[in-house]
Chain A
Amino acid sequence: NAGVMQNPRHLVRRRGQEARLRCSPMKGHSHVYWYRQLPEEGLKFMVYLQKENIIDESGMPKERFSAEFPKEGPSILRIQQVVRGDSAAYFCASSLAGGTGANVLTFGAGSRLTVL
């Protein structure tokens, strides 16, 4: 049973280009979370999705960033017109169920975006 799969692991983009990061959750998991991390810092919540629905996007910048988790296929985090400040590691996590309590999140290995 494969874990959370993220691709690409490394992505280099020039300013103004688009970045698309993909996340395939663990088999059977219908809840996906995206986080962003700068070097030697904690993870900053971006968005929480359940199949075809955005549950909480309070951490998403209002412009240029979007996320989706379609009925079929992986979750996609899309960053349009990237700027140097978007350079970071982006982590995806999935869980079997959402809500409160001690439900376990399993993290992927991350996608490292570098904007030149």
Chain B
Amino acid sequence: TQLLEQSPQFLSIQEGENLTVYCNSSSVFSSLQWYRQEPGEGPVLLVTVVTGGEVKKLKRLTFQFGDARKDSSLHITAAQPGDTGLYLCAGRGNTGKLIFGQGTTLQVKP
């Protein structure tokens, strides 16, 4: 069974601080995706990482895919209240379905 473990589950920080969210698995994934979900809405794709060791940047967000393609991290620099939300990592399973981690709830206080 392919599982993704995210940590931490909850994070409450002040505006301007940096943070890192981790996504780990014992399985290899062909790709990993990061989503952000706001209350009452569906997840929205932020990024897809495909190559082991790959680093992608999206403004203040930096995504990294582990060399062995078993883990990924999301780093946010100088967090803002608008970054508040549920962050989800997801990997493509054997039959094509997406397998999600349990999510990290981020709260950024002004």
Residues of A within 8 A of B (CB): 4, 31, 33, 35, 40-45, 48, 55-56, 58-59, 91, 93, 98-110
Contact = CB atoms under 8 A, between A and B. Distances in A.
Contacts of B42: 4, 91, 93, 107-110
B31 interface: yes
A86 B90 CA distance: 23
B48 A55 contact: no
Give me the 4 closest cross-chain CB pairs, A-B, nearest first.
A107-B42, A98-B96, A56-B95, A42-B100
Contacts of B59: none
10 contacts: A33-B97, A45-B99, A48-B97, A59-B97, A91-B42, A91-B43, A102-B31, A102-B33, A102-B48, A109-B42
Interface residues of B, number: 28
Interface in B18-71: 30-31, 33, 40-45, 48, 50
A42 B95 contact: no
A40 B105 contact: yes
B88 A100 contact: no
